Chains A and B, each alone.
Chain A
Amino acid sequence: MIGIIDYGMGNLFSVSKALERIGVPYIISDSPEELNKTKGVILPGVGAFKDAMARLQEKELDQFIHQYVDSGRPLLGICLGMQLLFEESEENGRFQGLGLLKGRIVRIPDRDQNGERLKVPHMGWNKLHFHQEAPVLHDIQDGYVYFVHSYYADGIDEQALLASAEYGVQVPAVVGQGNVSGMQFHPEKSSATGMQLLTNFAKAMERSEELL
């Protein structure tokens, strides 16, 4: 059973439908008690960093997420949900994140190295480049996934960078350290590749339970 953390900022419908399609049972909840009964959680998210952190704190879900990660069970942040895993963000100010991964969230520059203008948001299908092997990347061959975002994670640990996409800068696309992982794109909207990534997460979750 996967828990989808409902803090009012996510496109919960598409994440839950994707889990149904790959046959993984889930619950959607904003209650730490309920969510604590699961074997893994997904932190989705669309919207602004500041609002998202405020809502997590309001519902004391920030504390819950830390305790959950400490318990050894896997956490997957998607899009804004991934950005929240880092130390801080410069989106509309300067705001603290969950601090589970090293790095900060900064705006995608509007020009590339050659001075060519880049459209922001980074919107559409982009190719994944793989940096390290990880269970979540098993059987991913055609690495095109669907991105929609204006900010990206900068200054992250090299060991935490599993896959990236090129968009003027190197955009960390899949990050992971221990039982904390994140995807900047939307696996739930990334066709067969996205479904495989979610399936891999679900499998990793089953394995981590054996280890506990």
Chain B
Amino acid sequence: MMTKRIIPCLDVKEGRVVKGVQFVELRDAGDPVELARVYDEQGADELVFLDISASVEGRKTMVDVVQAVASELAIPFTVGGGINALDDMKRILRAGADKVSLNTAAVNNPALINEGAAFFGSQCIVIAIDAKYDESIGTWRVYTHGGRTPTERTVLDWAEEAVERGAGEILLTSMDEDGSKAGFDLALTKAVGDAVSVPVIASGGAGNAQHFLDVFTEAKADAALAASIFHYKETGVGEVKQFLRNAEVNVR
């Protein structure tokens, strides 16, 4: 039986982890490699690094980070942020990442998904979708540019198209729930999961272990991603997994 995956997400800017990560046992809470190791020890199934560098230099630094993480870690990891072309994917994957995550660039140029999947295989291509419910159309709308720009696309249509073009996984973030700590968006996660044939990673809204249980059992998510509750040690990956195990959810 497959296990449900728990995936901590780290924001990396100019080669350093940002967004207040609080691990007291760390010498240096900004070091992506050290943090990655801590999450690995806690039993994280996978990691996502989101490169939020604004500069070209920052993006180059990310390649060094990817190399260092790949040298230290024996769990899969995904890198997203600033990947706009096949060359960007090559740089990141050859440095040792297992998957790249595309968001705005894929919406602007969907053929990029085909190119990436043809070159590296679908298993390397994660499509990240930022979703927000829109009453006027009665469904979720796709946003780009870190949630700042509404598009004409609906989430379900875009997810299906992305998979047809070769996406191997959907990283689905609910903008409605993101930061709320009120739980994952179950309706959204379930709707996308039912629509596509590839794994769906639920993101946005995790506040406690029960929320992970809900998204796995009620919304059938394959994996769930969270940032702040792990960073701020509100709960640990191990605690969430123990809770899930007690509820008879299959975890590693």
B62 within 8 A of A: no
B223 within 8 A of A: yes
Instruction: Indicate if the CB atoms of B2 and A191 lie closer than 8 Å.
Output: no
Docked CA distance A167–B250 (Å): 13
Q: How far is the CB of A115 from chain B (nearest CB, A)?
A: 15
Docked CA distance A119–B168 (Å): 10
Q: Which residues of A contact B70 (CB under 8 A)?
A: 13-14, 17
Q: Which residues of A contact B180 (CB under 8 A)?
A: none
Instruction: Indicate if the CB atoms of B123 and A188 lie closer than 8 Å.
Output: no
Indicate which residue in B3, B93, B121 contacts A125 across the interface (CB closer than 8 Å). Answer: B3
- Secondary structure at the A interface, as helix, strand, loop or mixed, is mixed
Tell me the chain A residues, 158-172 only, with Cβ under 8 Å from chain B: 166-167
Indicate which residue in B2, B45, B76 contacts A122 across the interface (CB closer than 8 Å). Answer: B2
A47 within 8 A of B: yes
A148 within 8 A of B: yes
B71 within 8 A of A: yes
Chain A 172-212, CB within 8 Å of chain B: the 1/0 string? 00000000000000101111101100000000000000000
B98 within 8 A of A: yes
Closest to A12 in B: B94
Instruction: Indicate if the CB atoms of A124 and B45 lie closer than 8 Å.
Output: yes
Indicate which residue in A123, A166, A167, A191 contacts B123 across the interface (CB closer than 8 Å). Answer: A123
Q: Which residues of B contact A99 (CB under 8 A)?
A: none
Q: How far is the CB of A110 from chain B (nearest CB, A)?
A: 7
B122 within 8 A of A: yes
Tell me the chain B residues, 41-78 only, with Cβ under 8 Å from chain A: 45, 70-71, 74-76
Closest to B71 in A: A17
Q: Which residues of A contact B222 (CB under 8 A)?
A: 119, 123-124
Instruction: Indicate if the CB atoms of A126 and B2 lie closer than 8 Å.
Output: yes
- Secondary structure at the B interface, as helix, strand, loop or mixed, is loop
Docked CA distance A117–B200 (Å): 14
B107 within 8 A of A: no
Instruction: Indicate if the CB atoms of B198 and A121 lie closer than 8 Å.
Output: yes
Tell me the chain A residues, 106-136 only, with Cβ under 8 Å from chain B: 110, 117, 119-127
Q: Which residues of B contact A11 (CB under 8 A)?
A: 93, 98
Instruction: Indicate if the CB atoms of A124 and B96 lie closer than 8 Å.
Output: no
Docked CA distance A119–B199 (Å): 6
B112 within 8 A of A: no
Instruction: Indicate if the CB atoms of A14 and B94 lie closer than 8 Å.
Output: no
- Residues A13 and B94 in contact in the complex (CB < 8 Å), given A124-B45, A124-B223, A190-B74: yes
Closest to B74 in A: A191
Chain A 73-87, CB within 8 Å of chain B: the 1/0 string? 000000000000000
Instruction: Indicate if the CB atoms of B45 and A125 lie closer than 8 Å.
Output: yes
Instruction: Indicate if the CB atoms of A125 and B2 lie closer than 8 Å.
Output: yes
Docked CA distance A166–B2 (Å): 8
Docked CA distance A146–B47 (Å): 13
A-B pairs with beta carbons under 8 Å apart, 15 shown? A14-B96, A14-B98, A18-B74, A20-B71, A46-B121, A46-B124, A119-B199, A119-B222, A121-B123, A125-B5, A127-B1, A144-B252, A150-B122, A189-B74, A189-B76
Q: A17-B71, A20-B71 are in contact. List 18 more A-B contacts (CB 8 A).
A: A13-B94, A17-B70, A47-B120, A47-B121, A119-B197, A120-B197, A123-B168, A124-B223, A126-B3, A146-B76, A148-B123, A149-B123, A167-B2, A189-B76, A189-B98, A191-B74, A194-B74, A195-B74
Interface set of A (CB-CB < 8 Å, partner B): 11, 13-14, 17-18, 20-21, 46-48, 110, 117, 119-127, 144, 146, 148-150, 166-167, 186, 188-192, 194-195
